[in-house]
Structure 1
């Protein structure tokens, strides 16, 4: 199994209640059940107020590297990425478990 972690940092001046952010969150919330490769899916807002903290996280799992690739390339995932690109940056980590 491959764990796929994504941590998002909202751009300077962008708040959680921004309509673009709400649309982006909704897009990613809706991926579970739409993309068959997803084996585990959870996401949410960070509770920490530490200055090094990111704002939003996705924790997901996929059967193997090919399934992860299909997910990444899936049009629904790409549509969500396009939304987030407008107001955030992110880092990822993919590892076997």
Structure 2
């Protein structure tokens, strides 16, 4: 299995209740169940107030690298990415793991 982690940082001056952010979160929430490659899906707002903390995270799982690639290329995922590009930056990590 492949774990796909994404950490988002909102742009300076952008708040969680900004309508663009609300729409972006809704777009990513809707991906679970709509993209068959997703095996595990979890997302949420960071509760840490440490200065190095990111604001929002997605923790997801896929059977293999090909499934992850299909997810990344999926039109619904790409539509969500397009929304987030307007108000945030992000970093990712993809690594193998054993499901428990």
Same fold (TM over 0.5): yes
Q: Secondary structure of the residue that 2:21 maps to in structure 1?
A: helix
Question: In the aligned structure 1, how far is the partner of 2:62 from the partner of 2:17?
Answer: 31
Residue 12 of structure 1: how far off its partner (Å): 0.2
- Which TM-score applies when normalising by structure 2? 0.94
Residue 67 of structure 1: how far off its partner (Å): 0.1
Runs in 1 of length 4+ with deviation above 4 angstroms?
none
Residue 5 of structure 1: how far off its partner (Å): 0.1
Question: In the aligned structure 1, how far is the partner of 2:50 from the partner of 2:30?
Answer: 29
Q: Secondary structure of the residue that 1:89 maps to in structure 2?
A: strand
1:6-35: CA deviation from partner (whole Å, max 9, x where unpaired): 000000000000000000000000000000
1:22-75: CA deviation from partner (whole Å, max 9, x where unpaired): 000000000000000000000000000000000000000000000000000000
Could you list the runs of 5+ residues in structure 2 that have no partner in the other structure? none
Question: In the aligned structure 1, how far is the partner of 2:17 from the partner of 2:31?
Answer: 21
When the two chains are superposed, the root-mean-square deviation of aligned CA atoms in Å is 1.0
Question: In the aligned structure 2, how far is the partner of 1:36 from the partner of 1:17?
Answer: 30
- Which TM-score applies when normalising by structure 1? 0.97
Paired residues in the alignment total 96
